[in-house]
Amino acid sequence: MTTALGTDRPTMTSADYHRWAAEVRSLAEQRGAVILAHNYQVPEIQDVAHFTGDSLYLSRIAAQTDAAIIVFCGVHFMAETAKILSPDKRVLLPDHAAGCSLADSINADQLRAWKAEHPGAVVVSYVNTTAAVKAETDICCTSSNAADVVRSIPEDTEILFCPDQFLGAHVKRVTGRHNMHIWAGECHVHAGISPSDVRAKVAAYPDADILVHPECGCTTSVLDLISSGDLPADRTRVLSTGGMVEAAATTVSGQVLIATETGILHQLRGLNDRAEFIAMNDRATCRYMKMITPAKLLTTLREDTGDIAVPADIAAKARAAVERMIAIGSPGRGGE
Ligand code: 13P
Ligand code: SF4
């Protein structure tokens, strides 16, 4: 079946996929490259990659791999993070225009000014930030270990958390941390998954499990709805994309509502054909993630192009913050 890009469905015929995948894997082997794909990539890329997972899982693979080349199928900050962790390896990104609206919501000058207002505070930055922002950061986190990262900081120390306001509010809630200041950034895809989307889908699928990414604009309302008894606490979880993959494999529910970028549905449906996985909002598609197309991945491997560079001084400052991040949290594909 051939359908438009931006859905969780394949974009190639099966015969075309097999031809393309064979060439991609053979070129990767010739060049000594490992292919990493984020859970929001198009289905063909998720399937052809050597490793597919969430941000923390892919960062760990990038730090540990013996491959000489990492081909990163994700967005720019992810490839930069891999380069920071493995400065002696080549990291290739098939389209350097694959950015991130959340990473764009704070720059290094803004972070320096914020730090000056709070001397002595520890800076926790979400991994969805530029290398320059990471260089001004004490410890990075991802959606799967953000609460553990905050808990690792002494309780009387002020925290500056950036840039995602919804993840920040979620972490503040689960850790009970009072001295945590939160930057008002957001991801346009997750901010667009609204409380009204949740109400409509829960009314249509009243028995479904509910999995929500903490970057979502609806996270706070989901938790308010649980408190008021309008959503079932035992069937609702706030998870990273890797946590959703783990939950999907073991759910006994027949229907699961998924509040995140729709590319993940391909992973979930592949893991469990007993359950129906339903997008909370079908339009939650990240145009940056979809810039990495099968054709661009093949060109990158054929032409050996797309190198990511991070200035050595910035990389050196950012590395400590990213290494602290990968040391914290479970080693799986991402949990709560
Ligand atoms: P995780 O895969 O770490 O949950 O991150 C989601 C995301 O938005 C990456 O862009
Ligand atoms: Fe960035 Fe949002 Fe796209 Fe993730 S889904 S890469 S946070 S814009």
In this prediction, residue 228 carries a pLDDT of: 83
Q: Is 252 exposed, middle or buried (0-12, 13-18, 19+ CB in 10 A)?
A: exposed
pLDDT band at 218 (very low <50, low <70, confident <90, very high): confident
Please check the confidence at residue 269 and state whether its pLDDT lies above 80. yes
CA 79 to ligand 2 centroid distance, Å: 14
> Strand order of the sheet with strand 180-182?
139-141, 122-126, 159-162, 180-182
Which of 77, 288, 290 is the pocket-test mutation for ligand 2 (most atoms within 8 Å of CB)? 288
Q: Is the pLDDT assigned to residue 227 strictly greater than 60?
A: yes
**Tens digits of residue pLDDT in 89-133:** 999 999 999 999 999 999 999 999 999 999 999 999 999 999 999
Reply yes or no on whether the pLDDT at 219 is more than 90.
no
Binning pLDDT at 50, 70 and 90, where does residue 7 land? Answer: low
The mean predicted confidence, pLDDT, of the chain is 92
Q: What is the pLDDT of residue 183?
A: 98
Query: How many A from CA of 198 to the centre of ligand 1?
Result: 20
Q: Which domains does the chain have, with CATH numbers?
A: 14-99+288-309 (3.40.50.10800), 103-187+313-328 (3.40.50.10800), 193-279 (3.40.50.10800)
Residue 2: band (very low, low, confident or very high) from pLDDT cuts 50, 70, 90: very low
Counting ligands in written order, which one lies closest to the CA of residue 288? 2
- pLDDT of 148-167, one tens digit each? 999 999 999 999 999 999 99
pLDDT of amino acid 9? 65
Determine which residue's CA is closest to atom 6 belonging to ligand 2.
100
Show the DSSP H helices in the chain as ranges.
Answer: 14-31, 43-48, 55-64, 76-85, 108-117, 131-134, 146-151, 165-175, 188-191, 195-204, 219-227, 241-250, 264-271, 294-303, 312-327
CA angle (172 as vertex; 185, 225 as ends), nearest 5: 90
With 0-12 / 13-18 / 19 or more C-beta atoms within 10 angstroms meaning exposed / middle / buried, residue 294 is buried
* Prediction pTM value: 0.93
pLDDT confidence band for 178 (50 / 70 / 90): very high
Q: 277-289, pLDDT tens digit by residue?
A: 999 999 999 999 9
Range 51-63 average pLDDT: 92
